[in-house]
Structure 1
Amino acid sequence: MAISFATIAARRFGYGLKPGETPPADVAGLMLQLERGSAARPRFPHEGNTGRREAVGRLVSVRLVEARAAQDGRPNPSLRKETQDEAERLLRRDALARVAQAVASENGFFERLAGFWVNHFSINATKTYELRLLTSLFEAEAIRPHLRGRFVDLLRAAVLHPAMLIYLDQSSSVGPESPAAERSGGTLNRSLAQELLETYTLGPHGGFTPEDVTGAALILTGLAVDARTLEVSNRPGRAEPGAQKLLGKSYSDTARNGSDHMQMLADLAQHPATAQHVCGKLASSFIADEVPADLVESMVAAWQASDGNLSAVYKAMLEHPLAFAPEARKVVTPFGFVVSALRAFDVKGGQFEALVKADDDQGGDAVAPPDGKVVVPRRQPSAARLLTLQSLRRMGQPVWEPPSPNGFPDDAGSWLSAHQLTERISWARMAVRMLAQDVSPLDFLQSALGDGVSDHTRACVADAPNKVHAYTIALASPQFNRS
């Protein structure tokens, strides 16, 4: 079965085909999506980056006042519940907007890369009250503006964002010999240092030792987040004095102004193991679980020749012969499955936003009746959530809630299971009843998979006893669930 470049580009390097949208015809078209995506403002946070920072300052300040009052014996549970509910509402709206962003965007390659890097620098939005407010801002400020430039800039933006420092408890880290430790004690926190070396840069096989993790953690001491403003600052009184070693190099910031950790991040970004780890992870995420060595080598060569320019690395990946080989080697993740299906159903941005607004206005969770038949009234408050956030949670990939700093897996073993197939079939039946209009199942199949449809799948859809079964077969087909 011959599959065109455009179909592979849309499904392997984007979030699938969408009626009325022309997929890229060549590598240059995919790279153009990076440029357009970088220039576009994402749909989250809803009030924009500045507006969200103002909202965070207001809500965190109220929360701190309430906490101090409670310590003084004057608790205000209604105020605490009100701020908690507001944080939950904002997180839910942001998460819905993130799904809508992927569904509506014409820059699928950019959106897929944003998803990759958010997973690489994983943060769980539900860990703290502040992270419910900040995680969407983390993606909008730290990830999206930097994913087509130099890796060192992306690394610094992600590691030094307040959301990352809160997630990995960096503010609690105190140098054992620092003035703060002498006054009131405190311990060294190695969480950020561990993830920095093992996940974000060198990789688990990057040749670092436990002593290197300790060295990185000592270099990072003094880096903290202000509890009220959530601004990142350096606090010399909490920093470990003297020179610290990492990978055989000595770092000594005599001015205590934080230049040592900035230099450390630059050195880690330029380390050969970092290029190997990140390029291998990229290729594995987009092309195959088991990546051929020559593919990674070509990407590493582009990295080294361009001083870590990520656009050059992506281009090297796209130009490798395996990138557009017809064989589908990746299982589509739950997020990719839901987004691709919504795109195939031609859910418009306006439609989705109306569902999100109804969800905001009325709240509540939808529950499908026992017979599986979902009736959607004109103002169904939970339709968007039922189709996206609730379903993604059941499938094991809730938005911005990875199981660990390692992020969500993307290998076939994690997503190819009886449970996954059952959930995807259930979702398909629900979505057909909610979204299927007058388009015939065969036309839907063609618009969803283009020339990637097998004769067997087309015959099964044509022979289905009814419309719901036909659509479900299309969405459960191997071609729709692999890229």
Structure 2
Amino acid sequence: MALARPTLAAIRYGYGLRAGQDAPDDADGLLDQLLKGVSRKPRFPREGIGGRQETARRMISLRAAEAKAAKDGKPNESIRKETQREAQRAYRVDAMARLSQAVHSRYGFYERLASFWMDHFSTSALKSLPMRMIVPLYEAQAIRPNIAGSFSDLLKAAILHPAMLIYLDQNQSVGPDSVAGRENGRGLNENLGRELLELHTLGAGSGYGQDDVRAAALILTGLSVDSRALEVVYRPRRAQGGPITLLGRDYEDDEGSGQDHMLMLEDLAADPRTARNICRKLAAHFVSDEPPAELVDAMVAGWNGGDGNLAEVYRAMLEHPLAWESPGQKIKQPFEFIVSGFRALDLPDENLTALLQDMDGDDEPGPVGKAMQMASSSKAEEMRKKRAAQANSLTLGALQRMGQPIWQPTSPAGFADIASVWLTPSQLSERIAWSRLVARLLGQKLEPSDFLQAALGDAASAETRRIVSQAPSRIHGLTMVLASAEFNRR
């Protein structure tokens, strides 16, 4: 079924239709969203970049002091519990802010690209307690400002951020023949070297071998994180001496300046295998699990013509006719599904903030609390708990149940981006349950036929329109819209 280009642009290249937000219908309009999005300050971390760095440093220092006191036989359980509460609260606020930003942003293409690159350069808030505060900082500091520039700059920003080095245990990596390696017998950790080649640049099956993984890991030795300052540092005592041969090139830090890793990242960014791997992955994310070779070739040509400039790669994709054909080839991931659901509902910005208030049990109820204010004041505590549970079920808890909690991928490969993972009976059951809940709590005033038009426009099939028009109740009709095949595909 052919769709109007604005409809397809909003669904395929953004987070779905939203009342009052006109979708672009060409490459220039979508790229304008990208440039405007890059220039905007994200809603997270809640204290801003500088403030979050200070907060994280303070927490890390408190945790270190408590750990030392515990080791000395003087544990302070209150400090440990308080830092846990603070980190979890910060994560929850930031995660809701990220959800809210995707729902309300006018720059859907930029928001989709931010999610894509966060998956590509994956880190996890579950790695440690401080990482709950560091990973949102990583997205705001390393990923979002760099997704419209060169891939080389994005690669260096992502790899050389404390979050990435902590996540892939770079602090534990010591060159076997380094001063530190000879003194204490500590060895090489290959995590970052392996993921750099397999996931971030060349791609699996591109012709490199285990010797190359080891060589990349050796070149990265010396890179570490000062956990108190939360800064990337270079520790020469841990660095393996050269020459080290990777993919036919020798890297030898003759002056001891520790810059070989920068040369390696630039070389990997310029490798033709990296261009094809990234272009195919982008096309697979936006267009089809098995993207047309013709489209990928055009994107690689854009990469080469722009010397790795990502905006030129996006343009090559968006200007290709195949980028606007065959809608519905992709299954929405859970984050996309929930965000597009909230966008279709056209919730005011303050309502998602109120949902967070409900989750935290604030006395002033948000939309869920107001929908439930039917009991007497003697049941206030019970009602607060119920409000919190239902608000969570609409947002972060729903993403957890569906398998895509914010900033918590299951592996360095990020969340899966293929239909077989998300098109399962359990996944569909969770989506139907969410659709029913959101219809009951937040859709009381909506007419199903109007909601269908707002959510899908001309993407709704005649059969879906018929089913929704015959729904036995308003809630059932709204649920059918959100559970429809058209709404779950893009």
Pair in the same fold by TM > 0.5: yes
1:229 paired with 2:229, answer: yes
What is the SS of the residue equivalent to 1:128?
coil
Shift of 1:227: 2.1
Aligned counterpart in structure 1 of residue 465 of structure 2, from 433, 440, 458: 458
Which residue matches 1:142? 142
Question: Which amino acid in 2 is paired with 1:79?
Answer: I
Q: Distance in 2 between matches of 1:382 and 1:23?
A: 35
1:106-130 Cα deviation digits (max 9, x unpaired):
1000000000000001111111122
Q: Is the 8 A contact 2:289 2:329 kept in 1?
A: yes
**Counterparts of 2:362 and 2:354, CA distance in 1:** 12
Aligned residues with identical type, % of pairs: 52
Match of 1:371 in 2: none
The residue matched to 2:21 in structure 1 has which SS?
coil
Give the residue type in structure 2 aligned to 1:259.
Q
| Deviation per residue, 1:374-427 (Å, 9 max, x gap) | 847897345542211100111111111111000111111011111111111000
- Distance in 2, matches of 1:225 and 1:333, equals 33
2:8 aligned partner: 8
Aligned residue identity for 1:34: L
Name the residue aligned to 1:390. 397
Q: Are the counterparts in 2 of residues 295 and 317 from structure 1 also a CA contact under 8 Å?
A: yes
Distance 1:249 1:383 in 2: 57
The one of 408, 416, 427 equivalent to 2:415 is: 408
Aligned length: 475
SS in 2 for 1:241: coil
Q: Contact (CA 8 Å) 2:2, 2:325: kept in 1 or not?
A: no
Q: 1:64 to 1:34 in 2, by over 3 A?
A: same
- Structure 1 segment 35-434 matched on structure 2, within 5 A: 35-360=35-360, 362=362, 375=372, 380-434=387-441
**Could you say what secondary structure the match of 2:250 adopts?**
strand
Please give the secondary structure, in 2, of the residue aligned with 1:232: strand
Cα offset, 1:12, TM superposition: 0.3
Match of 2:380 in 1: none
What is the rounded CA distance, in whole Å, between the counterparts of 1:126 and 1:110 in structure 2?
26
C-alpha displacement of 1:69: 1.0
Match of 1:441 among 417, 437, 448: 448
SS at structure 2 position matched to 1:129? coil
Given that residues 355 and 382 in structure 1 are in contact (C-alpha distance below 8 angstroms), is that contact kept between their aligned partners in structure 2?
no
Query: How far off is 1:188 after superposition?
Result: 0.2
One-letter amino acid of the counterpart of residue 294, structure 2: D
Question: What SS does the corresponding residue of 2:301 show, helix, strand or coil?
Answer: helix
Task: Determine the C-alpha separation between the residues in 1 that align with 2:372 and 2:427.
Answer: 24
Which ranges of structure 2 fall in alignment gaps of 5 or more residues?
A: 375-382
SS at match of 2:224: strand
Structure 2 residue identity aligned to 1:123: T
1:297 partner letter: D
Deviations 1:415-441 (A, max 9, x none): 111111111100000001111142210
Shift of 1:147: 0.3
When the two chains are superposed, the root-mean-square deviation of aligned CA atoms in Å is 1.7
Please give the alpha-carbon distance, in whole angstroms, between the structure 2 residues aligned to 1:116 and 1:324: 19
Instruction: Give the conservation status (yes or no) of the 8 Å contact 1:100–1:352.
Output: yes
Query: Are the equivalent residues in 2 in contact too, given 1:13–1:286 (CA < 8 A)?
Result: yes
Q: Given the alignment of the two structures, is residue 469 of structure 1 paired with residue 476 of structure 2, yes or no?
A: yes
Tell me by how many angstroms 1:104 deviates: 0.7
- Which secondary structure does the structure 2 equivalent of 1:256 belong to? coil
Taking structure 1 as reference, are residues 33 and 383 closer, same or farther at Cα in structure 2, changes over 3 Å only? farther
Q: Deviations over 1:282-329 (max 9, x none)?
A: 000000001111111100010011110000000111111111114321
**1:279 is matched by which residue type in structure 2?**
C
Look up the equivalent residue of 1:430 and give its one-letter code: L
CA distance in 2, matches of 1:34, 1:6: 16
Distance 2:409 2:192 in 1: 16
Secondary structure (helix, strand or coil) at the match of 1:224 reads strand
Instruction: Give the distance between the partners of 1:290 and 1:465, measured in 2 at CA.
Output: 39
Shift, 1:144, TM fit: 0.2
SS in 1 for 2:130: helix
Q: Distance in 2 between matches of 1:305 and 1:172?
A: 40
- Consecutive unaligned residues of structure 1, counting only runs of 5 or more, are 369-373
Contact 1:43 1:98 in 2 (8 A): yes
TM-score under structure 2 length normalisation? 0.94
Alpha-carbon distance between aligned partners in 2 of 1:24 and 1:18, rounded to the nearest angstrom: 13
The CA distance in 2 between the partners of 1:120 and 1:40, in whole Å, is: 22
The answer to whether the 8 A contact 2:201-2:278 is kept is: yes
- Alpha-carbon distance, 1:458 to partner: 0.2
Deviation at 1:358, TM superposition (A): 4.1
Q: Is the 8 A contact 1:3 1:326 kept in 2?
A: no
TM-score, length of structure 1 as denominator length? 0.96
- Check whether the contact 1:6–1:25 (CA below 8 A) recurs between aligned residues: yes
